[in-house]
Chains A and B, each alone.
Chain A
Amino acid sequence: MENNTTIPLDRLKELLDARILTNLCPPDFHIDHVICSELLSDILAYARNVENTALITALTNTQVLRTAEMVDIKCIVFARNKPIHQSIIDIADEIGIVLVSCPLSIFHAAGRIYRELKPEGTWK
């Protein structure tokens, strides 16, 4: 997605009916780009030139967090309220990645963010 605007954490929470899992809430946090992927190698290969990015995924293992860390992804959105182990939340707090859990599917979560970042009339 190309960015037209940005989404702060409070708005992201509202948009996705989400819960913030981490304690970390950086005051300047915002996203303006989203990646949806279950393939970590793909993220490592293609998410190099992005900033202020959220990853929406159904993967809940430690490696999704490490992958996000390596490419500077700021936030991970876990779709469909997948249970997240406390050890993963602790690592996220330590390395500065915001974790969010939402009841939506990946498709619907991405759609709501897309609509926010790319208002109707700007769709390509």
Chain B
Amino acid sequence: MEINRKYNIEGGNFADAGYASSDIRKVIKQLGLSPAIIKKIAIAVYEAEINVVAHAYRGVMSVTIDRDKCQVIVDDEGPGIPDIDEAMKEGFSTASEKVREMGFGAGMGLPNIRQNADDLEIDSKVDEGTRLKITIFFNQTRAV
């Protein structure tokens, strides 16, 4: 069994932000996974989607689900992350005032993804974009 989904994400479009994550959550709920795993995937994917909307011009989220894991690759075109170590620190944020008014921008996005992912890879080039690769295994019991 392998399920593949692909979603286009538009930078700055907060009205539609979360649609992709909502759809992915619906798909994984149908697989009979534990609520804890569903929540881990939903939170990681949603934070990644919001990151694109909040910081990038556009992005593509590709999701592959097989019998062992959910793997999500998010490629965005945008300003990139100059210092990934800094961006991974809780509280560090470059979000705009508009994004903060929406309730985001507290510098929790990437740390939250790392907290929920079993594996997280980040590649970024300044003024080009960022790639996140998030993997969550279904049989892991790591507490979050």
Interface residues of A (CB under 8 A from B): 38-42, 44-45, 48, 59, 61-67, 69-72, 95
Contact = CB atoms under 8 A, between A and B. Distances in A.
Nearest to B26: A95
Contacts of B59: none
B112 A67 contact: no
Interface string B49-93: 010000000000000000000000000000000000000000000
A71 B43 contact: yes
Contacts of A48: 39, 43, 144
B18 interface: yes
A38 B104 CA distance: 9
Main secondary structure of the interface of A (DSSP, over half): helix
A40 B104 contact: yes
A64 B46 contact: no
Contacts of A66: 17-18, 21-22, 46
Contact of B103 (A45, A61, A69, A95): A61
